[in-house]
Amino acid sequence: MSTTQTIDAINQDYQFGFTSAIESDAFPKGLSEDVVRAISAKKGEPDFMLDFRLKSYHQWLTMEPPTWADVDYPPIDFQDIIYYSAPKSVEKKQSLDEVDPELLATFAKLGIPLSEQKRLSNVAVDAVFDSVSIATTFKKDLAKHGVIFCSLTEALEEHPELVKKYIGTVVPATDNYFSALNSAVFTEGSFVYIPEGVTCPMDLSTYFRINTEGTGQFERTLIIADKGSKVSYLEGCTAPKFDSKQLHAAVVELIALDDAEIKYSTVQNWFAGDPKTGAGGIYNFVTKRGNCKGNRSRIFWTQVETGSAITWKYPSCILTGDDSVGEFYSVALTNHFQQADTGTKMIHLGKNTRSRIVSKGISAGVSKNSYRGSVVIKPNAENARNFTQCDSMLIGQTCHANTYPYIQVENPSANLEHEATTSRISEDQLFYFQSRGIPTEEAVATLVSGFCQDVFNELPGEFAAEAGKLLAIKLENSVG
């Protein structure tokens, strides 16, 4: 990233805080069995899906919200949330010409051109606006390779057998409170299937946008990489500024069969709440998990978490297949009143399984940033290896950084390494930059960028630049 870009970026506020004037077709607030049935009916789903939703809903009713995370928030009123909201004018979209121009303008503002321009950067995009998928680009090109990339709703219509076979197999509805809620009321998401032996010819990408105030976003992503296939998937998120909190409870499931590889990258920039009062912002309570089901399969998670009032998120890998590999690279930045409790779980089941965790936490303002990670080696996981590196950087005197590593080893042949550091950006470091003519904001951005380099290196090119820029914006005025 060039320094000029950084400087330009520093002077920006949250730039995605606009709302678009688009008529929406929304359910009234509240959750009941009728609402769950209505969502399913609205989408014309097959019976197995309705059963799945109803089971999840009844399960959810018996569950309590988790309290173990190091985050504080008042109880959520689940009857005060809209569970379905769709832009009115896009009932069916065969081509982009039919999409509401206001919507296209919104996505253009977000830097997501859905039209031909995207051809140049060779990324296929699925755009989700509130509860529905607006458009998926490059479907035809991908179909030539046998790759299925569409909204989950379309997948249920066109490939119900694939959805039925895999949905809920990695994150069962009963997994946790928020996954149960999602399983009952999810409205949209992306579906990806890469056939045997195919390397997906382009990066796939989903952009999520919450637009309607009071709307919960409950999307569900399902990615299946068949034997010997390979795919790189990018996820980006933004939301307008509202004074009230908004709930985002997503579920992402990845399945990698023998010799397959999935790389899942996220740059998350939800609205974090008012910097001065902490009002508003997104509760980002997300369950992401991949199953390295096949032998020699590989799943890589890379996340840059910059937004959200509260982040509760642990992208994890179940290393089922022998010789499978799970990696997790994370930058989590909290500033002002933000709270993050994030990390990963690596569950080693197969022989010779390997996992690697690199976590970088940056805290500024009065924020709270916790890394929570779990490495589990089960009895059959002969020769499992894990390397964990967990670094925290503090900016200022009023923020918190915590690390909660859990290790559970049931096979003596395991080899685990854990490294952790805590550092602070010192006045002397900033003065050293200044004495060489480099202003403080740029100095902070450079130090933070250097701190995160190991993670940024894992991001696809375009995202790496975006991530560096985002961090600079988020840390604006955090020093001095």
| In the complex, minimum distance from the CB of residue 432 to another protein, in angstroms, rounded to a whole number | 4
Q: Residue 192 in contact with residue 148, Cβ under 8 Å?
A: yes
The window from 198-206, 260-268, 378-386, 440-448 that contacts another protein (CB under 8 A) reads 440-448
DSSP track, 320-382: -STT-EEEEEEEEEE-TT-EEEEEEEEEE-STT-EEEEEEEEEE-TT-EEEEEEEEEE-TT-T
Residue 436 makes contact with another protein by CB under 8 A:
yes
| In the complex, minimum distance from the CB of residue 6 to another protein, in angstroms, rounded to a whole number | 10
Among 99, 163, 447, 472, contact with another protein (rule: CB under 8 A): 447
Return d(Cα 316, Cα 327) in angstroms, integer: 9
Among 451, 463, 470, 473, contact with another protein (rule: CB under 8 A): 451
Q: Residue 296 in contact with residue 283, Cβ under 8 Å?
A: no
For residues 96 to 135, the per-residue mask of contacts with another protein, x marking binding by CB under 8 A and - elsewhere, is ----------------------------------------
Question: Cα-flanking dihedrals φ and ψ of residue 351, to 5°?
Answer: -75, 150
Residue 8 makes contact with another protein by CB under 8 A:
no
Residue 438 makes contact with another protein by CB under 8 A:
yes
Residue 446 makes contact with another protein by CB under 8 A:
yes
Residue 45 makes contact with another protein by CB under 8 A:
no
Return d(Cα 216, Cα 436) in angstroms, integer: 48
DSSP track, 208-277: EE--STTB-B-BEEEEEE-TT-EEEEEEEEE----SSEEEE--EEEEEE-TT-EEEEEEEE------TTT
Among 422, 453, 457, 477, contact with another protein (rule: CB under 8 A): 453
Q: How many CB atoms lie within 10 A of CB 223?
A: 24
| In the complex, minimum distance from the CB of residue 453 to another protein, in angstroms, rounded to a whole number | 6
| In the complex, minimum distance from the CB of residue 12 to another protein, in angstroms, rounded to a whole number | 20
# chain residues binding another protein, by CB under 8 A: 23
Q: What angle do CA 464, 469, 473 make, to 5 degrees?
A: 150
Residue 74 makes contact with another protein by CB under 8 A:
no
How far lies 96's CA from each of 93, 109, 330, 341, in Å?
7, 16, 35, 39
Among 408, 415, 434, 457, contact with another protein (rule: CB under 8 A): 434
Which of residues 409 and 447 has its CB atom nearest to another protein in the complex?
447
Return d(Cα 15, Cα 188) in angstroms, integer: 25
Which of residues 383 and 440 has its CB atom nearest to another protein in the complex?
440
| In the complex, minimum distance from the CB of residue 440 to another protein, in angstroms, rounded to a whole number | 8
List, in sequence order, every residue forming a beta bridge with 371; answer none if it has no partner.
342, 403
For residues 414 to 433, the per-residue mask of contacts with another protein, x marking binding by CB under 8 A and - elsewhere, is ---------x--xxxx-xxx
The window from 30-38, 116-124, 150-158, 446-454 that contacts another protein (CB under 8 A) reads 446-454
Among 449, 462, 465, 479, contact with another protein (rule: CB under 8 A): 449
| In the complex, minimum distance from the CB of residue 128 to another protein, in angstroms, rounded to a whole number | 35
Return d(Cα 438, Cα 113) in angstroms, integer: 35
Residue 467 makes contact with another protein by CB under 8 A:
no
Among 410, 450, 457, 477, contact with another protein (rule: CB under 8 A): 450
Q: How many CB atoms lie within 10 A of CB 5?
A: 14
Which of residues 389 and 440 has its CB atom nearest to another protein in the complex?
440
Q: Residue 248 in contact with residue 166, Cβ under 8 Å?
A: no
- Nearest CA to 274 out of 304, 309, 310, 238 is that of 309
Tokens coding 217: 């976003």
Which of residues 177 and 433 has its CB atom nearest to another protein in the complex?
433
Residue 27 makes contact with another protein by CB under 8 A:
no
Residue 461 makes contact with another protein by CB under 8 A:
no
Q: Residue 65 in contact with residue 76, Cβ under 8 Å?
A: yes
Return d(Cα 387, Cα 343) in angstroms, integer: 14
| In the complex, minimum distance from the CB of residue 447 to another protein, in angstroms, rounded to a whole number | 6
* Binding positions for another protein, 154-213, rule CB under 8 A: none
**Euclidean distance between the first and the last CA atom of the chain, given in angstroms as a whole number:** 24
Among 226, 259, 442, 458, contact with another protein (rule: CB under 8 A): 442
| In the complex, minimum distance from the CB of residue 365 to another protein, in angstroms, rounded to a whole number | 20
The window from 232-240, 315-323, 375-383, 447-455 that contacts another protein (CB under 8 A) reads 447-455
Residue 3 makes contact with another protein by CB under 8 A:
yes
Q: Please report, as ranges, the residues that interact with another protein according to CB under 8 A.
A: 3, 423, 426-429, 431-440, 442, 446-447, 449-451, 453
